[in-house]
Structure 1
Amino acid sequence: MRRRKVKSAVLIGAVAATVAALGSAGAAAPEGRQGAPLPAGAAAPEGRQGASPTVVVDCSGDAQVRPGSYLIACGDGNNGLVSLHWTRWGATSAEARGSNVVNDCLPYCAAGHFHTFPVTVRLDTVRARPGQQSQAYFTVLHLHYTADGPPRTPRDAAYSIVAVKPGVAG
């Protein structure tokens, strides 16, 4: 019995370490409520000096620009993006290459194994951030698996990004 408890503790620690390794997290969900449509002209045109860039919001509600990693599964850390190399970051869309790291959760998530899949990433659909109407943020994250993806996962997947109002736990 003691050996099983130690093994479970080690597995839980491994999952926690993987979540920590993913770094700045993403607040992505299959569907979610987003902020109000951005008022005309509120998104900063590319290259305009002093203009605030469009951001992507992470799991803790922080604004990120060109993050190197992004957590898709905020609740359990079993799905995230790593080694992101941004080829474009504009006012209305952003594009990157990187890897999707996914836990197979077999036979259950704490005992599962993480697998890495190459992806291209696109962020789009800009809205005003709740509680910060002057801040534009991307509300949709698109993944395209450039090779094999996780089992039962479509080659192209989209996730809504939900921005929590500042000061409100999500």
Structure 2
Amino acid sequence: MRTHTVKTLVTLCAAVSLAAATGSSSAAPPTARAVKQQPERTVLVDCFWKPNVRPTDFILACGDGNSRLSSLKWSHWNLNSATAKGFNLVNDCKPYCAAGKFHSYAVVVRLDHPQPWKKRPQVQHYTQMSLVYTDNRPDGFERTVTYPLWN
């Protein structure tokens, strides 16, 4: 009689475990399962392939560092766009870049055109940056300059 009770108890525990395992995935309401996972935030990818949110500094010229953004103050950052004010530090490369001087230009920075990041497709990243020079600007630069950002 004791063997029969143990077998029944083991079978009952197995059935309960199986029901719990299969029931947990269908226990959520259908609408909760159907909701597509949205990214938490869009990132700005830097020269070292690191995702950034609201960075205070950003290198534009990854190869030589002769153009970078500094003192960025972000007024807006969401899934579709971001806006900041700061400075573009640009080397004049006169007489050549190693001997050149950096000059600071006030800019408004706008990030947009989010796309999935190739390195991490579940993460959205901005693919375009526009700089609007609010006062002086480097020689040969337009008032607004738009750059594609790396993926």
Shorter-normalised TM range: 0.7 to 0.9
What TM-score results when the alignment is normalised by the length of structure 1?
Answer: 0.66
Q: Deviations over 1:7-27 (max 9, x none)?
A: xxxxxxxxxxxxxxxxxxxxx
Larger radius of gyration: 2
Q: Which residue of 2 aligns with 1:70?
A: 58
Counterpart pick for 1:140 among 128, 133, 141:
128
What TM-score results when the alignment is normalised by the length of structure 2?
Answer: 0.74
1:117 matched to 2:105? The reply is yes
Q: Within 2, Cα distance between the matches of 1:100 and 1:131?
A: 28
**Aligned residue runs from structure 1 range 54-69, under 5 A:** 54-69=42-57
Query: What fraction of aligned residue pairs are identical, expressed as a percent?
Result: 41
Q: Which residue of 2 aligns with 1:88?
A: 76
- Post-superposition offset of 1:121: 0.2
- Post-superposition offset of 1:131: 2.9
- Post-superposition offset of 1:43: 5.1
**Aligned residue runs from structure 1 range 40-55, under 5 A:** 44=39, 52-55=40-43
- Post-superposition offset of 1:133: 1.1
Relative contact order: is structure 1 or structure 2 higher (C-alpha 8 Å, sep ≥ 6)? 1
Q: Which residue of 1 aligns with 2:85?
A: 97
- Checking the alignment, whether the CA contact within 8 Å between 1:95 and 1:120 is kept in structure 2 is yes
* Dislocated runs of 4+, deviation >3 Å: 41-44
Q: Within 2, Cα distance between the matches of 1:101 and 1:60?
A: 19
Counterpart pick for 1:128 among 96, 116, 119:
116
Unaligned 5+ segments in structure 1 are: 1-40, 45-51, 164-170
What RMSD in Å do the two structures reach over aligned CA positions? 1.1
Q: Secondary structure at the match of 2:121?
A: strand
Higher helix residue share: 2
Specify the code of the residue in structure 1 equivalent to 2:104: T
Q: Within 2, Cα distance between the matches of 1:131 and 1:82?
A: 26
Q: Deviations over 1:29-60 (max 9, x none)?
A: xxxxxxxxxxxx6653xxxxxxx210000000
Q: Within 2, Cα distance between the matches of 1:42 and 1:153?
A: 41
